[in-house]
Chain A
Amino acid sequence: MNAVPQLFFDAASLGGIYAMAALGIALIFGVMNLVNFAHGEYIAFCVFALIVPSSDAVAVMFLGKAPAILLIPVLLALGALIAVASEYIVFRQLRNANPVAMMISSFALGFVIQNTLLAVYGSRPKAISLWPDLNTPISVAGASVPLLQLIVIITTLLVVSALALLLKKTRVGLEMRAAAENFTMARLLGVRANVVITGAFALSGALAAAVAMIMVTQTGVADVRMGGQIMLVAFIATVVGGLGSLPGAVAAGFLIGAISVVLQAALPLEARPFRDAFLYTLVVVILLVRPQGLFASASAKPRV
């Protein structure tokens, strides 16, 4: 077995998940200056939507029984729906509140979603098997790679390019980029705030659904708390990338995934349990050198 290609595939697939989660956060931060801490809970919600509501340890597939061709669009739509609904119910009421109030509300929203899931599904993690065939390893460039890793890498590239195309080539994309840089100016030019914000939440929620499908297939576990860990990494990625910068979020997502995988392989055995401490030390160093993030967005810079 060849170690270097193996590392590459591990890093790229983990980074891809982080990048997609970070994109979901950066999209909303860009248009609303809101760090939506409920994003991780959107992911958990999408995971649990796959199974029949019950508190049994073994999950019975519900939506997860549907064929992929049906399941994927339905789950993406469901992710978009919960994100848009939370905007409508919570964040729209706070449109003119200060960003800290909005951020705290996003925590509250996250707790509400998490506790609703707890009440319905119980607190025990459940074994769940979505597309188990995808974990069969295949041989690529001398490395043994689960098919899923390849799919994650390809999906990430597709999602990122589709998003880039949408932002670059469509009317709503143009309006979202303009609004992300200067919302007031965009509105003075007739850009409808509600359309842009709803669009950003829908995209963000769909990204959460994509992450949910990948995580579930990879880990085979549905856990009410699963959103928290990925949310933390994704949030750090958006900060390292430069809050509000979409290319920055993607790049930093991949970077953190890569560092994480390399540390896992390179650290001496005794130090491995402390991998995250090393990872976040590196993050601190990056932020000390570039406090504005790797790709600071123009809106974050003070304007004269």
Chain B
Amino acid sequence: MTASTSGVITLHVNGEPHTLTVDHRTTLLDALRERLGLTGTKKGCDQGQCGACTVLLDGRRAVACLQLAVAAEDRAITTIEGVADGGRLHPVQQAFIELDGYQCGYCTPGQICSALGVLDEHAAGWPSAVTADVRPEAGPPALTDDEIRERMSGNLCRCGAYTAIVRAVAQAAKVVSA
């Protein structure tokens, strides 16, 4: 690693700035896990094919494994460690516990961060691949179970907790919009 292949950057994670020197090759995922001690974000495939490393970048869900840390400077990063409000769990987290929306728990941080993104995207009126009519005049689609399934499909769960995850996201959506 030479000066030209590394750099000093500041990452804004969960509202806190962190200044560190990174090898340009370092992904945001590895920077979070290996440099900042934020191991809640999981590495499932390291190639954008499982969703376990989902975080929020400027409020939108993204996979941290394909995001270079050096290119994440000046962006607001929210990880699973920053989802709860102090000691108070977010309704999505609460619903995952109550409805058993997990088993081994390894995909869970990604599922939860993804669900936060889904709720925001749906609230913004974004259609999905199962939205019957994407034209604006059709209005925003209702957040049915099928809509949740499609929108959450970027988060694989090998234990097969899908049924409970969908229930948890649906319950949290009601709480959040109430």
A and B assemble together? no
Query: Chain A interface (Cβ within 8 Å of chain B)?
Result: none
Residues of B within 8 A of A (CB): none
